[in-house]
Amino acid sequence: MQFARVYYSANGSDTQVKAGDLFFSQGRPLLVFSWRRNGGRRVPQDAVPLDPAKLRPASSNGTIFRYEGEVGRELRP
C-alpha cells in the first residue's frame, strides 16, 4: 500500500485542476475522495479506479502524479 497525491482535470480543462489522494491497492491506482477507519487503519471509503496508462509521475520521489484521463462527472465531489 502506498499513498500519494494526484492532480486531475476538474472539467476536462487544463486550467481547472483538482488535487486528490492517490492510493495504490495491490498495484491498482485509486482516486480517493473520502477515508474511513477500519481496525485502526485508514482505508478508502469513496474512491474511483484510475487507468494506470494515464497516470504520470510529476515528482522524482513518487509522491505526486498527474492523471491525464477523464474522471467521470458523477464520480467527482
Contact 15, 32 (CB under 8 A): no
Q: What is the DSSP letter of 26?
A: T
Confidence of residue 54 (pLDDT cuts 50, 70, 90): very high
Distance CA 55, CA 67 (A): 5
Distance CA 2, CA 19 (A): 17
Distance CA 41, CA 35 (A): 10
pLDDT at 70: 83
Give φ, ψ of 66 to 5 degrees.
-125, 145
pTM given for the model: 0.80
What integer best gives the mean pLDDT of the chain?
85
pLDDT at 72: 62
pLDDT by residue (tens digit) across 16-44?
Answer: 888 999 998 888 999 999 999 999 998 89
Q: Is the pLDDT of residue 74 over 60?
A: no
